[in-house]
Amino acid sequence: MTEPIHDQAEGLRRLLVQNFLRIVTLTSGGTGTGNTTAVVNLAAALTRNGKSVLVIDENTGAGNVCELLGLNAHRDLLDVIRRDKTVQEVVVGSVHGFSILPAGRGMRALEKLNVGDRAHLIGSFAHITPSFDVVLIDAAPGKASRSLSLALSSHEIVVVASPEPASITAAYALIKHIGGNHQNKRRYHILINKAVTEIEANTIFSNMESAAKRYLGVSLQFLGYIPYEHKLCPDNPLPKSFSAASFGAAFQHAAESLIHWPFEEDEGRGLERFMQCLLQGSSGSQGARMNAATAES
């Protein structure tokens, strides 16, 4: 009698997987780690795997996603908040098949929105098409990111670090900061970028994992490493052809790993729910900053 029930449960789980919106923030402790490059290449790899991907770009100015791809983005999420544009009119398509939502100015305004603006913004994401399988957030570096306040238990965080000691230290400090403010975040993924060898990347991750487990009580999972790519890193000692192949294969491996991450069945699925949680998190972050300021005064 237990077998039919098990089969029904498995069928329901597969249905939920098909409708599940994977939300992943890629962040780093500071600038220069190649976070935006990682977002773009991971989005392209996921698209090649048949996933519909939306990249939300939290950065403004030089080096953001649209600039990296040579795209003109004259509007962003703030124009949606002001009711000057719809989300559909702000989203930019790329030749790689994924979509981009420039959101830098809008993300900074989230914590200041009144009830009406919040309701409008949530509603704006309710019927966005096409439906997306994965949302990748290119977060502002360090503690400046507004996306790290997300309260979704299914929201995954990938911390990108390079082999430089300053980058590793900043990545660890960022994990400590997030864990201190959001104690439900007990799992993080680590992507080592610009590694010369696999041994180097594994050593860096092993050291970070041991320290995080011992001192922070959090779990780190190795998403992989990205080798020096000749075009992006002129000092790369590897032959160009080998480097380019390894670079693409590394992101393909990361994309396939991401697709098979476990998920929480009780979470809402859809951009409307995502924006609602983002707004709730922004309110909580504002309150935390106010409390900290009061304590210091």
Of 235, 225, 229, nearest in space to 161 by CA: 225
pLDDT tens digits in sequence order for the chain, 297 residues long: 445 555 555 444 444 445 678 999 999 999 889 999 999 999 999 999 999 999 999 998 778 999 989 898 889 999 999 999 999 999 999 999 999 999 999 998 998 999 999 999 999 988 787 789 999 999 988 887 877 766 455 689 999 999 999 999 999 999 998 888 777 778 899 999 999 899 999 999 999 999 999 999 999 999 999 987 644 443 443 344 444 678 889 999 999 999 999 876 545 567 888 888 888 877 655 544 444 433 434
Residue type, position 131, single letter: S
Q: Quick one: pLDDT at residue 269?
A: 63
| Strand ranges inside 44-186, DSSP E | 53-57, 92-93, 99-102, 134-138, 156-161
User: What does the alpha-carbon distance between residue 141 and residue 23 come to, in Å, rounded to a whole number?
Assistant: 18
- What confidence tens digit (pLDDT) does each residue in 71-122 have? 988 899 999 999 999 999 999 999 999 999 999 999 989 989 999 999 999 9
Query: 153-175 burial by CB neighbour count: b if 16+ within 10 A, else e?
Result: ebbbbbbbbbbeeebbebbbebb
Give the pTM.
Answer: 0.84
Residue type, position 96, single letter: H
- Please state, rounded to an integer, the average pLDDT across all residues of the chain: 82
User: What does the alpha-carbon distance between residue 26 and residue 33 come to, in Å, rounded to a whole number?
Assistant: 11
Residue type, position 7, single letter: D
- What confidence tens digit (pLDDT) does each residue in 27-60 have? 999 988 999 999 999 999 999 999 999 999 999 8
* Residue bearing tokens 């959090």: 218
Angle, helices 35-48 vs 240-259, to 10°: value is 70
Residues, the chain? 297
Of 289, 281, 268, 275, nearest in space to 81 by CA: 275
User: What does the alpha-carbon distance between residue 171 and residue 160 come to, in Å, rounded to a whole number?
Assistant: 7
Q: Quick one: pLDDT at residue 265?
A: 56
